[in-house]
Amino acid sequence: MPEMREDFESDKEWELHKMRHSCAHVMAQAVRDLYPGAMLGTGPALKDSFYYDIRTEPAITEEDLGRIEERMREIISAGTSFVQKDLSRSDAEALFRDEGQEFKLGLIEKIDDSTYSTYSHDDGSFVDLCRGPHVENTKQLRFFKLMSVSSAYWQADARNPQLSRVYGTVWQSPKELKLYLRRLEEAKKRDHRKVGREMGLFTFFPFSPGSPVLLSRGMVIYRILGDRIRNLVLKNGYQEVRGPIVCHQSLWEKSGHWEAYQENMFLLGQDHSTGDGEQGVYSLKPMNCPVHMNIFGMERRSYRELPIRYHDEGPLHRNELRGALG
């Protein structure tokens, strides 16, 4: 279902959401105009910004943002209306098949519905698959800025094509836009990756993306924080335990993680058997709770013992996409 006014705390937040949703489509049109054959993915509105995942040849880079913005300004200044229209499944498929939009066809296939909402502006020269909400006219989107480009797999699946994810923001006044961009610049100065390197606390190497290498100064802070956290939780009734880093497939099957989370786990090679003769592979542990449940189940418990709390400082490893750490 599309978002509604009651989903937002204020009229202003609702209007900004509609603006960002609409501006993402204007950006998609600009990219399609500049990159013939561009394939459009999805373009959601975020809290203060928006993005659109788009496949182009060549891929979009930071240097391309200026000319995309220029084309967006042309579209916005034309002052065309956003028009919503419902199509049957067959008509929607025919429309996006003619447009060569394979990602949109894939979305239609996954949506089990009898009608599919599209929107258009610029007198119908650009049509996208979307349920809204949108603003009434493109001129409401004048105060925008494209901010960055990153890479993303289609629908977050590494087996799918890689797309360019273009981020932007739009506000109701030039003052609001300026203040937001200033906040972003100030946040960059306090980015933990920048501060950590400058203070000699930690660093990153390409052979282990997402995993910091703690330097000597960083280890001092790590030990101090670890001791304080440990003292705090032990005073509140936690029991300190430490689970193994490597666990067998049978554990994850029992917990349900094997079915729901396997693609985000580091699996270790060929099949192995457990002491109970169960066949399967081992993996690096991505979370603690299944091990802790086995600790809990070692003996018969009484409700009088509850709550039982475990504190585990063992490392966890998750095979997530680059950028998932934020």
Instruction: Indicate which CATH number applies to the domain containing 243.
Output: 3.30.930.10
As beta bridge partners, residue 25 has none
Higher pLDDT, 83 or 19: 19
Instruction: Mark whether 172 and 248 lie in a shared domain.
Output: no
In the prediction, which pLDDT does 131 show? 84
126: pLDDT strictly greater than 90: no
- What's the pLDDT score for residue 292? 97
Q: 325 pLDDT exceeds 60?
A: no
Better-predicted residue by pLDDT, 7 or 286: 286
| Domain assignment of residue 205, yes or no | no
pLDDT higher at 156 or 254: 254
Q: What is the mean pLDDT of residues 27-50?
A: 94
Q: Summarize pLDDT for 129-144 with one digit per residue, the tens.
A: 988 889 999 999 999 9
Q: What is the mean pLDDT of residues 60-87?
A: 93
| Of 165, 189, 213, the domain-final residue | 189
pLDDT, residue 85, reads 86
Q: Which of 1-10, 70-79, 189-198, 268-277 has the lowest mean pLDDT?
A: 268-277
**Which residues have CB under 8 Å from 260's CB, separation 6+?**
none
What mean pLDDT value characterizes the chain?
A: 90
Q: Which long-range contacts (CB under 8 A, 24 or more apart) does 229-236 make?
A: 230/311, 230/313, 233/309, 233/311, 234/311, 236/309
182, 243: one domain: no
CATH number, domain of 48, equals: 3.30.980.10
What tens digit of pLDDT does each residue of 313-323 get?
A: 999 999 876 65
Q: Give the residue numbers spanning the domain of 309.
A: 238-326
Residue 144 inside a domain? The answer is yes
Number of folded domains that form the chain: 2
The answer to whether 73 and 145 have CB atoms below 8 angstroms apart is no
- pLDDT bracket for residue 118 (50, 70, 90): confident
Burial group, residue 134, by CB count within 10 angstroms (0-12, 13-18, 19+): buried
